[in-house]
A and B are shown apart, each in its own frame.
Chain A
Amino acid sequence: MSVRAAIRRFLGVALTLIAVSVGVFWASASYSRRARAEPLEQNPFRYLPVFFNAHPSGVRELAAIAMQRVARGGTVAVAAQLELARLGGAALPYVLPALDSLEPNSRERVALALTPIALRMEVASREELSDGAQAVLFWTRFWQDRAIDFRAASVRHLTLRLAERAIALRREDLVHVDTFALPALIEGLGEVRDANDVARVQRLTSVLSHVTDLPVRSTENPSLSEARRTVDTWQDFWALHGSEYTELDGPRRLAATFVETQYGKWLAAVLRGGLGRTRTGESALSVIERCFATTALLLLVGLGGGFSLGVLWTRFERRTSRIALRYASAVLGTALAAIPCASFVSLFAGRSAGLGSALCLVTVATAAWVSRHLARSTISEGRVSPLAAAFSVSAPLGATYPPLVLSAIVLVELAFELPGLGRAAALSLASGDVNAWMATSLALALTTLLLRQAADLLRPRPTLGSALVEP
């Protein structure tokens, strides 16, 4: 095979895999939306569009909406006050300059709504902000004095200094800018490799949990794994809420139309490493590592063995001279192919059958299915090299029976509680665990695609018209 052909095949697999990832993600989103309410409630990205966000919201938009609602007053103002408090210092560069544009009463309402932020930033006491006029005066002066601190470069510098060494003043400086420091703080967490990294994570976590009011605390002497878990927790928080604390402008707004979607968030988790984390906190990659061997064995034996057996069966049926034997073989084959695998699974599942029975079931199901197609169709068994053609993407049966065999694999894995990719995928689809579903279903798809591409390369081709058979 030439390099050009190899590249074309590789690109074909990559493109198919991308399309599969889009398809299975849509499948997961559709299934969760329609099937049950429970997974919906558990999915942290449920409010985002699946693939395209026409109106992504950054801190500027969220702060403006919250400020308008607070200014208007009424019942919606209560939720808006909480939203302003949550957005914290990140909202101040947009709220404080806009205070002057509000009418006096609205201005006082907004200034008072900012009180929780001032308390968290430790820049005022509750008594200083008890009155609306006082609050307006405070925030006007605050912005005159401190606007210069709300710059990304200076906050990054402060974070670097705190990351290097713990001094109370450095921590205070960051607390004074509140959630405005979040991007720099999250970035500052970095990777955890040694004791110095653990200490850095501990210092930054103290500020992070203070400004976000989240109960993520480091123990006194955290281990490396504990520190890594803490970093993972903050990374998850940032993946979910990052855009709410940053401004979306120019290219970032354009990128946000994709990034701020359920698919974009999943992709970001994948790019962070480990293919994201499952609901149980386990890396999705480790789920694949655990489940791959069982499914690969079932695939190889089920598809390879089953196809070979099917071809032998067909040859026997065609060559035998006894009519009764031919009839019996045909009826048995059709019945075995027709009776759902689920019925046999139900019969065997209660017993201590294990992997052996699972392999037998998948192999027999494949053999019966293939033999019926070969025996009755105009596809000649003489053209098929049993093992290679079993997986080949170009073979006529290539699109017909592999999905059924894969379904049988999922079933036997579930029934016999085998730790396989199919079982993990089915359980995660049912429970709405997006990361686990995506990782396992993509691993299953990639394994099938690669096996079939490899078989296609090994498959002997008929000399006549072979170029036509290959698209």
Chain B
Amino acid sequence: MTEALSPRRRLALAVSAVVLLILLAALLAPLSPQLLGYARGLQFAVVAGALIMAVAFLVAIPLGTLAASGPRAFDAALRFVCDLFSSLPTLFVAAVFWAWADRSLSYVCALGALRGLEQAWLLRCEIVRLEAEDAAAPHSLGRTPLLAFLKLRLPAALGPLFVSASFSVAWLTALDAALTQAGLRPHAALPTWGLELAEPHGSPLGATLAAGSVALLTVSLHALFRPPRVT
């Protein structure tokens, strides 16, 4: 969809979406308490979404790289851990994180680490695929193996990670809404979009705004994170 747009335009698109949402929240917040909840939800979604993306990348890149290029035991270990977490609904894992974490920061970091594990597997599969096809081989001539890996193969393999990362805000909101709806959120102190969406007696306007904002943020992040190409 966004292949035709230049990187600068794509960045501008994403930034303007966030600015638009912030302006909308600033304008609507004083009107009613429900809309104030929406504005606070935006703050949480943006900060927590960014944090989740950062933690996930920090976890995924070294783990995925090691699993693909390191010792075989490491690969088996990553697969085992991924199997472990993917055999249960994320909802339950998030419920336990929510109960375990004393502060929302720990909760968000734990979710980021969980997301990092999923993305590590994506990265590992992509690196293995590229190695099998040897897609970057002609470009790596004259470079050391490490440099060739860092400059060519790793950036080329980051595509699925970027796509996955663009859904971070949506993923977080979905989990939060699911936790609230399932009655597994032990305390509802944090005003989030998930709460707005899942509260049975919440404001319809707030819920619609929240759902629309999640979609807009995701679309703009989706547009921003175009898979890189080896040139």
Knowing A346-B181, A378-B160, A411-B91, say if A403 contacts B100 (CB, 8 Å): no
Chain B residue, CB-CB nearest to A326:
B1
A312 within 8 A of B: no
Is the Cβ of A399 less than 8 Å from the Cβ of B85? yes
**CB atoms of B181 and A342 under 8 A apart:** yes
Interface of A is mostly: helix
Residue in contact with A340 in the complex, picked from B82, B128, B174, CB distance below 8 Å: B174
In the complex, the answer to whether A340 meets B197 with C-beta atoms within 8 Å is yes
**Which of chain B's residues have a CB closer than 8 A to the CB of A334?**
215, 218-219, 222
Q: Does A341 contact B (CB under 8 A)?
A: yes
What mask results when residues 47 to 86 of chain B are scored 1 for a CB within 8 Å of chain A, else 0?
A: 0000000000000000000000000100110011011111
- A55 contacts B by Cβ under 8 Å: no
Residue B136, interface by CB 8 Å = no
**From A20, A337, A378, residue with most partner B Cβ within 10 Å:** A378
In the complex the two chains form, what is the Cα distance from A393 to B124 in whole Å? 13
Q: Which of B72-115 contact A (CB under 8 A)?
A: 72, 75-76, 79-80, 82-93, 95-96, 99-100
Given A338-B214, A441-B92, A373 and B178 contact (CB-CB distance below 8 Å):
no
Tell me whether A335 and B183 are in contact (CB under 8 A): no
CA distance A346 to B197 in the complex (A): 8
A35 with B181: CB separation less than 8 A: no
Q: Report the Cα distance A290→B114, complex, angstroms.
A: 32
8 Å CB interface, B140-190 against A: 156-157, 159-160, 163-164, 167, 169-171, 173-175, 177-178, 180-184, 186
Q: Check if B87 sits within 8 Å of A448, measured CB to CB.
A: yes
A468 cross-chain contacts in B, Cβ below 8 A: 128, 131-132
User: B-facing mask of A311-354, CB < 8 A → 1, else 0?
Assistant: 00000000000000011001100110111111101100000000
A426 an interface residue at 8 Å Cβ cutoff? Answer: yes
CB of B177 within 8 A of CB of A342, answer yes
What A residues does B96 contact at CB under 8 A?
A: 27, 30-31
Partner of B132, one of A326, A446, A465: A465
Q: Does A406 contact B (CB under 8 A)?
A: yes
Chain A, interface residues (CB within 8 Å), range: 35 or more
Interface size class of chain B, counting residues whose CB lies under 8 Å from the partner chain:
35 or more
CB contact between A471 and one of B72, B85, B207, B222 (< 8 Å): that residue: B72
User: Which residue in B72, B87, B99, B182 is a CB contact (below 8 Å) of A445?
Assistant: B87
Does B13 interact with chain A (Cβ within 8 Å)? no
Instruction: For B171, give the chain A residue with the smallest CB separation.
Output: A404
- Annotate A233-263 by CB proximity to B: 1 below 8 A, 0 otherwise: 0000000000000000000000000000000
User: Is residue B38 contacting chain A, with contact meaning CB distance below 8 A?
Assistant: no
CB distance A403 to B89 under 8 Å?
yes
Chain B residues with CB below 8 A from A35, complex form: 99, 186
Q: Which residues of B contact A410 (CB under 8 A)?
A: 89, 91-92, 178, 182
The smallest beta-carbon distance between A43 and chain B, in angstroms, is 15
Q: Give B34 Cβ to nearest chain A Cβ, in Å.
A: 15
Give the residues in chain A near B85, CB-CB below 8 Å: 399, 403
Contact B160–A404 (Cβ < 8 Å): no
Q: Does A415 contact B (CB under 8 A)?
A: yes
Contact A407 B215 (CB under 8 A): no
What mask results when residues 101 to 124 of chain A are scored 1 for a CB within 8 Å of chain B, else 0?
A: 000000000000000000000000
Asked if A406 and B88 sit within 8 Å, CB to CB, the answer is yes
Residues of A within 8 A of B75 (CB): 471
Contact of A396 among B83, B126, B132 (CB under 8 A): B126
Q: How far is the CA of A403 from the CA of B121 in the complex (A)?
A: 14
Within 8 A of B (CB), among A147-192: none
Is the pair A399, B117 in contact by a Cβ cutoff of 8 Å? Answer: yes
Q: Are A339 and B175 in contact (CB under 8 A)?
A: no
Knowing A396-B125, A410-B182, say if A30 contacts B99 (CB, 8 Å).
Answer: yes
Q: Which residues on the A side are within 8 Å of B132 (C-beta)?
A: 462, 464-466, 468-469
Binary A-proximity of B187-202 (CB < 8 A = 1, otherwise 0): 0000000100110100
Whether B197 contacts A396 by the Cβ 8 Å rule is no
CA distance A34 to B98 in the complex (A): 9
Interface residues of B (CB under 8 A from A): 1, 72, 75-76, 79-80, 82-93, 95-96, 99-100, 117-119, 121-122, 125-126, 128-129, 131-133, 156-157, 159-160, 163-164, 167, 169-171, 173-175, 177-178, 180-184, 186, 194, 197-198, 200, 207, 211, 214-215, 217-219, 222, 226-227
Can you offer 26 A-B residue contacts whose CB atoms are under 8 A? A16-B80, A27-B96, A334-B222, A337-B167, A337-B218, A339-B211, A340-B174, A341-B177, A342-B197, A346-B207, A369-B167, A372-B167, A376-B226, A377-B159, A378-B159, A397-B122, A398-B82, A400-B119, A400-B122, A400-B164, A422-B89, A426-B184, A430-B183, A441-B88, A446-B87, A469-B125
Q: A372-B167, A452-B87 are in contact. List 15 more A-B contacts (CB 8 A).
A: A12-B80, A16-B80, A20-B87, A23-B88, A330-B1, A337-B170, A338-B169, A343-B198, A369-B167, A373-B164, A402-B86, A426-B91, A444-B87, A462-B132, A469-B132
Which 9 interchain pairs have the tightest Cβ spacing?
A: A465-B132, A342-B177, A338-B218, A396-B125, A340-B174, A406-B89, A338-B170, A35-B186, A399-B82
